[in-house]
A and B are shown apart, each in its own frame.
Chain A
Amino acid sequence: SYVLTQSPSLSVAPGETARITCGGNNIGRRSVHWYQQKAGQAPLLVVNDDSDRPSGIPERFSGSNSGNTATLIISGVEAGDEADYYCQVWDSGTNSGVFGGGTKVTVL
């Protein structure tokens, strides 16, 4: 089965740029989606199809995907961005969803 790998944690100062990576074999050939989950809340889709933003998501959130790494980029990090972030792909061969292990972002 397909495996997505994320670093467990990332610390970033307010106003800086956070880059959260998601590794997978030839992930650049897949469509990658990113979710933000704050403590005690349901996940929220923040980037879909590698780099698109759903309605209502700030422009500070963007994404890229190439080769074996997809990246969620949060520009001008704010205290409210502190959360767990998960990448996800859909494996059409097995008709199944795959999540990365999640990255906990701490705003210093």
Chain B
Amino acid sequence: EVQLVESGGASVQPGGSLRLSCSASGFSFNRYAMNWVRQAPGKGLEWIAYISSTGSTVSYADSVKGRVTISRDKVDDFLFLQMNNLGVEDTAVYFCASHGFNYDFDYWGQGTLVTVS
């Protein structure tokens, strides 16, 4: 069974930093590209970051570019999101999602809450 479990969400002050983690199991993690998607309270889904299966290609939404870094650990099957200079607009639930071969997001974690205030 595919499982994605996020952790690392917390309440931080503006200007602070956080590192989110996503533990993957039940599938060949190293064969899949991965994404981070966030959802502000009461709002819709927003894609924010992508990393290829090898880690050689990354991309970011303009809203977070320059402030976040996506990375992956191929040995222990983890996905990370380093977030710096956080603002109140970054308050959201952050989901990790696997990148399907149809360019969909086929599996999702339950999310981790980041509150900036």
Task: Determine the residue in chain B with the shortest Cβ distance to A90.
Answer: B103
In the complex, whether A42 has a CB less than 8 A from a CB of chain B is yes
Chain A-chain B contacts (Cβ-Cβ < 8 Å), number: 70
- B105→A97 contact, CB < 8 A: yes
Q: Mark B24-64, 1 if CB is under 8 A from A, else 0.
A: 00000000000101000000111100100000010101100
Seen from chain B, the residues whose Cβ lies within 8 Å of a Cβ on chain A are 35, 37, 44-47, 50, 57, 59, 61-62, 95, 97, 100, 102-106, 108-111
In the complex, whether A67 has a CB less than 8 A from a CB of chain B is no
- A86→B44 contact, CB < 8 A: yes
- B95→A42 contact, CB < 8 A: yes
Report the separation of the CA atoms of residues A86 and B44 in the bound assembly, to the nearest whole angstrom. Answer: 8
* A35-B45 contact in complex given A42-B109, A43-B95, A94-B59, C-beta closer than 8 Å: yes
Nearest chain A CB to B41's CB is how many angstroms away? 12
Q: Mark A30-58, 1 if CB is under 8 A from B, else 0.
A: 01010101000111110011001010000
Report the separation of the CA atoms of residues A100 and B19 in the bound assembly, to the nearest whole angstrom. Answer: 27
Jot down 13 A-B pairs with beta carbons below 8 A, ordered by A.
A1-B62, A31-B104, A42-B111, A43-B45, A44-B108, A45-B104, A45-B106, A48-B102, A49-B104, A86-B45, A88-B47, A94-B59, A99-B37
